[in-house]
Each structure stands twice: as C-alpha cells, then as structure tokens.
Homo-oligomer: A and B are copies of this chain.
Amino acid sequence: MGDLNFPGQLHARIVRSPVAHGAIVEVDTQAAQALPGVVAVWAGDDLQHLPPIPFRATAIKGLTPYCQPAVARGMVRYVGEPVAVVIAEDPYIAEDAADLVMIDIDEHEPYLDAACEPASFAPSLSCEPTVIEKGYGDVDEAFSTAFAVVELELKTGRHSAVPMETRGLLARYDTARDVLELHGAAKRPHWNRDQLADLFKLSPASIELYENSVGGGFGVRGELYPEDLILCHAALVLKRPVKWIEDRREHLMATNHSREQTHRIHAAVDQKGRIAALDETLFHDQGAYVRTHGARVADMTIGLLLGPYRVPAYRAKAHYRLTNKTPAATYRAPGRFEGTFVRERLVEAIAVRLSLDPMEVRRVNLIASSEMPYERNLSALETDVVLDSGDYAGLIEKSLAFSGWDELRREAERRRAQGESVGVGFGLFVEKSGLGPSELVEMRVEADGSVTVVTGAASLGQGMETAIAQICAETLGVDYRRVRVLHGDTNRIAFGFGAHASRVSVMTGEATRRASEIVRTKALEFAAELLQRHVNQLEIVGGVVQDGKEGPSVTLADLARQLHPASPARGDREPGLSASAWFHNKHMNYPYGAHIAQVRIDQATGHVAVERYAITYDVGRAINPAMIEGQIVGGLAQGLGGALFEEFLYDQSGQPLSVTLADYMMVGATEMPPVDVLILEDAPSPLNPLGIKGAGEGGVTAAGAAIASAVDDALQRPGLVDRLPVTPQYLRRRMQQYDEALGSLSGQGAP
C-alpha cells in the first residue's frame, strides 16, 4: 500500500481514545484545524449520518446494538477507538494535527473480565449478555448415570494475526466517472463493495474495490473497519484521494483481536474413558464492539468443539461478553484453536482421571471412517456440521509413526532422567474448509493460447493463483505457467465470495475445474470438426489439440482466434473459447490432522523451548503440496505464538500493554523449531470431484493443545496447563499453585 499513490492525495490520521471507557465531554478540533496543511478534522458528530458497520455473517440476535460506529459518539469503549479524524496534505502534518485534537472524556470504570458474573456487567455498554446455545441428546441423563465426571476451567489468551504489513487504504472518488475506488481491499471485496454501497447510498456499480498485494491476512485483514468508512467518506466529501496506513501501534490496538475465551467444560465418561456427554459453558470476550463477523467465533467454537470424537449428548452455551478492549473477531482457525485446546485438554484430563493412556481415550472416542458422512446435529457458520470423510484412527497411527512418537517418548524420558524437563505432546484436530455458498469463475483462452481465469476470490498471499492455475492447467491440458488468474478487482466479475474460511481451493478450485471442462469440450468439439476426427480420438496436450503425436493438430490459440466474434471461421458458433461456471455448495468439508510437539523447559525461568514439531494433515487432495507445507509451517509459527508467547494484556484501567512488538512477542526464527510435515490424501472430500479440502488453518489449530500436552509431560504434572499462552510468568505461577494444590490434596489424586 505504501507504493500506491495518486496525485493530489491527502493523508488521514485517526485520533484514538486514550481511555478505555468513558463519556465524551468534548472533542476540540480547533487547534488541529488551524495547523497549515490540515484539510479537515472531523469528530463523531461530523460523521453521525454514517450508519455503524454492519454484520456480514452470523447475525446473533441481540448483538446489533453493539456494532461499531466509524467514529465514537457519546461514549468511548476501548483504548484506540476512533474519536476524530484528521485529513492533511501529508502524513506528518496529519500526525502533528492529531496531537492537537483535545479530547475531554469523563472516565468510567472499565469492564475487562468477560467471565465475570453478568450482574457486574457494564451498564454504559447496555450489555444484556447474549447467549447462544447448541446441543443435542439427553445431557442431564448422561451426567446422572456417568461413571465419572471430569471438569475443567480453561482459558485461551487474547492474541491475533499481526501480519507483516499493517492495514492500509487508499480511497479515491473519480468525479468524471462517478466512481468511488477503494484500494487495499482483500478477503471479501465484493461483499465490502455491496456494504459500502448500502452505507453510502450508492449503486454497487459506482464503487470499485481493488486488492493490493499482501503477504497475509489471516482473518483480520480485509474486513470493513471504521477506517474503511472514514476513508470512503473523506474521498467522497473532499473529492481527492485519501490514504491511510496503519502504524504498528495502531495495528495492535485497532485491528481485530481474537481468541480470548474462558471455558467451563464437564465430561460424563464411562470407565473406559468413553464420553457420554459434554456440557460446555463459554465466555467469549468480544471486546468493545461486534464487528462484521466477530460473532462467528463463539458460534464456531461451540459448533465445532467436538472435533473427531463421538459425543452422544452435548450442551453448549456461549456467552458473548462485551469488554472495554479492542473488538475481537476471527483469526486463522477461529474457534478451532480454542476448541481444540479445550477438547484435547479434556481428553488428557479424562485419561488422568481414569488412569488411561490419553491416546487410548482418543481412540475409543473416535468416529470411525465407516460412519462417514457423520451428522453432528450441530451447526456452524450457518451450515449443518456433517463430517464428510475421514479416517481419524488411521491418522493417529500415521502421525505416531511419522513423528517417531515412541522414540520421542523414550528420549524425553531418558533426558528427564538426566535432569532435563523434556516432554512430548499430542493434539488431534478436525478443521473445516470450503465454505460456500457459491463461487463463479470466468475463463477464456486468449489469442496467444494463454488462459485467463477470473475469480472473485481474493489473494492474501496464500498462493491461490498457483493452485487455481494448476487445476485449470491439468483439466484443460495446458502448461500451468500459461494460466493467468485474475482477482482482486470487483469490476472483473459480477460476484465473488473472497478468501476466508479456507474456501478458495475448494470453491474457486471446483468452479475452475468446471469451467475448464467446458472450455475443453468446446475446444475438442471444434477441433474435431476442423481436423475431421471424432472427439474421442483427440486429446489436449500442452495447449495443442491432437490426434496422437503424429496425427493432425490445432492449437488452442488457433481455436480461440477462429472463435473470435469477428472471425469468419466462427460461423454460427458461440463467440470465444471461453466459459463461466458456478460451484454452489451447502456444506463445508472437514480436513483433519495431528500436532506433535517436543519441548524442553527451563524450570528456573519458566521458558518453554520447542525442540521439534511434526504435523500430519489430511487435506483430501493436495493440489500443491509445497504450498500446503508452507501454509502449515507458517500457521504453526502463529499457533506457537498463541500457545507460548503472544498476548494482548491490559492494565486495570483498560490501558493496553502490548502496543509494540517488544511487548507483543511474536515467534521469530529463534523460537521456531524444525517442523516435519506429512500431507495425507486418505480421505478425499466427496463434496467436490477433486476431493479437495482447504489447507490454510491446520498448522495453527492444535498448536495450543499439543504444547499444553508437551508441557504437562515435560514437567510430569498432568493437567498442569489450564490456559494459553504458556508464558514463563504463567508457568512458574501455575507450577507453584499446582504443587500447592497437590500437596494439600496429597493422597486424593491429581488436582
């Protein structure tokens, strides 16, 4: 975004609330407005005609009042909330002027604990706690007849994506064409366009969204944020391009946070560790507002909590709780990172309680591959959860063999005997991918024989251009380097559902395969006429339609030229060697895998070093194994961050403590272990002919679970880890607490 500029562009700076909770007494913009080079300064009242940012998904009843306005009015609800906007001739003036905006706020007590009792909840947030429930079966009956009940309270820490590039936007209103351009869109350009049209009362045809090249989105990038509305408003009003690039401090307090949850889970089990019922209560820390799709996380957490296990009865309540922190929404593997931590902690706790091998507890609870497709009687993301395919038992065996599990265990034992705190941990997970409802692909063979594929999916650096090109190339019979995949421009294609929920390979992939088949058929039929051969005699190899290597042939380029509308050779044939194809899909599919971690702990400092890591992931069909491995390893870096290092902390007044990368500690090369990746294709998805499942999130999902398991093992304290991240401070405190509890309970078993 830094490289994109338009002549005459202005620069925006957002003035953000310095307090977490309070009533705005006055926003004095006079001094800022007086600074030479300042073009406009707007406070909340100036933008009051703009509606708040709407939901794009999972509209939970009761949450609508908590949508975020572009700029705060009346109240501020988190540190970093936009309170005013400065637009100036250059970014330095804008920043100086922002410092001159005087904000007088009557501070209120902040609300920071989502798991506290509703009674204590923030009256100024007017938050009636909102609850969603899911479940099936007779949970109470199962608990009343259970051999044992295992209960845990577990927490996952507040962290998020923190991509290398912060967010950036450039809005520009082209008066000549009456078109508002917004550059910097990614993830869901068409949806954002439609929403902006709604918000600004414009036709969707008069708004154009353009992606720019980004190295990562991870769920946080590309949603509609206050800044999107502010920039569009500024461009429309000032009729000059307006640019904004988030600085890192802003990013850490303005871009969606994620993951902060408290779980209270009870399992009713029999003596073999078979789960009869689960009863789960979730307190989801939503932060100060519910942004576009923030409501999804709690929904997915309880909708997908059960993973690979057969659970005869289930009851889950998710409490959305607003706090005076940065709003939270999705981040890579949303709900699954958290849920997998909870579920796998629970399985290990069951094993401890019943003195069983945790792997055995897993095995007895697994859904068998013969039971597929397996209906959960649950929904997530507005779809019914139906596990489409999977051999979970087989995956465990392959994972253990691939990682050398037994040898790892023996090595850890040996090293522990030598005084090291070394342990290995395991986490089993089921991901979800290929969210519908639809995707459209338009494809054409150009006059030079290259193939253009246009999609409304987005590229967030995941390499989708390569995977889609491969699918086209293999289906059609051309070199994949001759396939150009165009995306990231709402003008190019009428509909698009973007890149999120690990959907692109599945949805755009299948639409691409279908379009390729149509183009292939057209090419073969036309070539058959030209070459006077039967269609069945012909094949397409390297862009040439041929009757074997020696027979007559014609290139796709030739056919495309002859099908040009102006070509006399076309006759009455439909113009263009081209096709468009939809793929509509009502169900997600479910890749699955396992994480295995080996850690070594410095008991003096509480530091956890990850020594080795192995991930096994069955993605049904791997279009590009090298890219999938890249996704997995990159995902793991983020997963280890959430498991061990990354956490947005607040002090008691609601001031964020993690607003630099010195305080918010990300995984670097030093922290990253060697990773072995095994990609499996044992369970192709029956929901698309290529069998593809998405591969974007499995590197993250079970990292918290596996690390927790390994830390327990390294310290030989089963059930030790009850929250993430396992920071040194936490670990030392928790060990002390654990050992005290063990001492006081001595003789009564594990805590």
Contacts and interface: CB of A to CB of B under 8 A. Distances in A.
Given A440-B575, A492-B492, A448 B566 contact: no
Contact of A578 (B448, B494, B582): B494
A317 interface: no
Interface stretch (A159-167, A203-211, A721-729): A203-211
Given A7-B5, A438-B575, A204 B492 contact: no
A491 interface: yes
A565 B495 contact: yes
B484 A206 contact: yes
So how many copies of this chain end up in the complex?
Answer: 2
A79 to B, nearest CB: 35
A139 interface: no
Nearest to A205: B452
A587 B708 CA distance: 77
B204 A447 contact: yes
Contacts of A431: none
Interface in A197-219: 197-198, 202-206, 213
A402 interface: no
A213 B494 CA distance: 24
A446 interface: yes
A439 to B, nearest CB: 8
A450 B203 contact: yes
A447 B197 contact: yes
A285 interface: no
Contacts of A495: 564-565, 575-576
Nearest to A197: B448
A173 interface: no
Nearest to A444: B494
Contacts of A202: 448
A447 B575 CA distance: 29
Nearest to A191: B566
A284 to B, nearest CB: 25
A6 interface: yes
A205 B450 contact: yes
A448 B197 CA distance: 9
A733 interface: no
Contact of A565 (B5, B438, B448): B438
B205 A484 contact: yes
Contacts of A575: 438, 440, 495, 582
A446 B203 contact: yes
A204 B448 CA distance: 8
A494 B495 CA distance: 16
Interface string A564-577: 11100000000110
Interface in A418-438: 437-438
Given A444-B494, A448-B197, A438 B203 contact: no
A331 interface: no
Nearest to A560: B204
B494 A491 contact: no
A487 B203 CA distance: 16
A564 B582 CA distance: 13
Nearest to A485: B205
A59 to B, nearest CB: 13
Contacts of A206: 484
A751 to B, nearest CB: 48
A598 B206 CA distance: 48
A260 interface: no
A189 B7 CA distance: 25
A440 B491 contact: no
A665 interface: no
A440 to B, nearest CB: 7
Contacts of A194: 447
A223 interface: no
A497 interface: yes
A584 interface: yes
B497 A566 contact: yes
B484 A203 contact: yes
Contacts of A5: 7
Contacts of A204: 446-448
A489 interface: yes
A27 interface: no
Given A5-B7, A7-B6, A575-B438, A205 B446 contact: yes
A176 interface: yes
A105 interface: no
A486 interface: yes
Contacts of A213: 176
Contacts of A491: 489, 491-492
Contacts of A576: 494-495
B584 A565 contact: yes
A197 B582 CA distance: 29
Contacts of A450: 203, 205
B438 A205 contact: no
Contact of A448 (B7, B203, B444, B492): B203
Nearest to A203: B450
Interface in A481-531: 484, 486, 489, 491-492, 494-495, 497
Nearest to A574: B582
A238 to B, nearest CB: 16
A293 B358 CA distance: 80
Nearest to A448: B203
Nearest to A567: B437
Interface in A3-25: 5-7
Given A7-B7, A197-B448, A437 B203 contact: no
10 contacts: A6-B6, A194-B447, A197-B447, A197-B448, A198-B447, A198-B448, A203-B450, A203-B452, A438-B575, A491-B492
Given A197-B446, A438-B566, A489-B491, 20 more contacts: A5-B7, A6-B6, A6-B7, A7-B7, A194-B447, A197-B447, A197-B448, A202-B448, A203-B450, A204-B448, A205-B446, A205-B450, A438-B565, A440-B565, A444-B494, A495-B575, A497-B565, A497-B566, A565-B582, A565-B584
A-B pairs, top 10 by smallest CB distance, nearest first, are: A438-B565, A205-B452, A203-B450, A5-B7, A204-B446, A437-B566, A205-B484, A203-B446, A176-B213, A203-B448
